[in-house]
Amino acid sequence: MPRILGLSGSLRAASFNAGLLRAAMQVAPEGCPVLPGSIQEVPLFNADVEAAEGLPVAVKTLQAQLAEADALLLVTPEYNNGIPGVFKNAIDWMSRGEGGKLFKGKPVAIIGASPGGFGTILSQSHWLPVLRALGAQPWFGAKLMVSRAGQAFDADGTLTDDTVREQLRGFLAGFAATLD
């Protein structure tokens, strides 16, 4: 049974992207669960800390989750037309030590939600050179960029738009089909 590790690039509990990840967990195809990881406790990268103390516990946890997963789902916000720093920081930490090997050949799908009219098109594009550097395999079979997310999610960050929910279901079904 293939498993997908899902990571939201927002730290806010009621964020649109945390809500999109929760929705992905609900609509994942039978036999291919989306299992949540958390970047919440990942500190800012500091090579001095790594040299003195090794990898932080939160990073080791994410690396272990990635090692157990057959694929990775990045649920990315878009801040100032790019990748959120906190999300990039988490992936940078995850690639340290033996973690770099975990990304090699790993299928990765990218989705995201934004209050703006263009969704997360720029942040999704900005992930591509990062994924290339890590040796991951981006999946280009479909796109999901939730624009005007304030209309698709409630105040708690729960997806309420049935059309988006069905688009998400189809997206995940397409991605999961490549993992068999």
Of all residues in the chain, the percent with pLDDT exceeding 90 is 98
**Cβ burial 118-153 (10 Å sphere, 16+ → b, else e):** ebbbbbbebbeebbeebebbbbeeeebbbbebeebb
- The pLDDT assigned to 175 comes to 98
Q: What is the pLDDT of residue 46?
A: 96
Burial class (CB in 10 A: 0-12, 13-18, 19+), 71: buried
Contact (CB, 8 A) for 148 and 115: yes
Could you tell me the pTM of the whole model? Answer: 0.97
Contact 93, 159 (CB under 8 A): no
Please give the Cα distance from 80 to 60 (Å, whole number). Answer: 30
pLDDT in tens, 99-157: 999 999 999 999 999 999 999 999 999 999 999 999 999 999 999 999 999 999 999 99
Architecture of domain 4-177: 3-Layer(aba) Sandwich (3.40)
Helices (H), 95-161: 99-103, 121-134
**pLDDT tens digits for range 52-101:** 999 999 999 999 999 999 999 999 999 999 999 999 999 999 999 999 99
> Domain boundaries in the chain?
4-177
Residue 1 binned pLDDT confidence (cut-offs 50, 70, 90) = confident
| Mean pLDDT value across the chain | 97
Give residue 180's pLDDT: 75
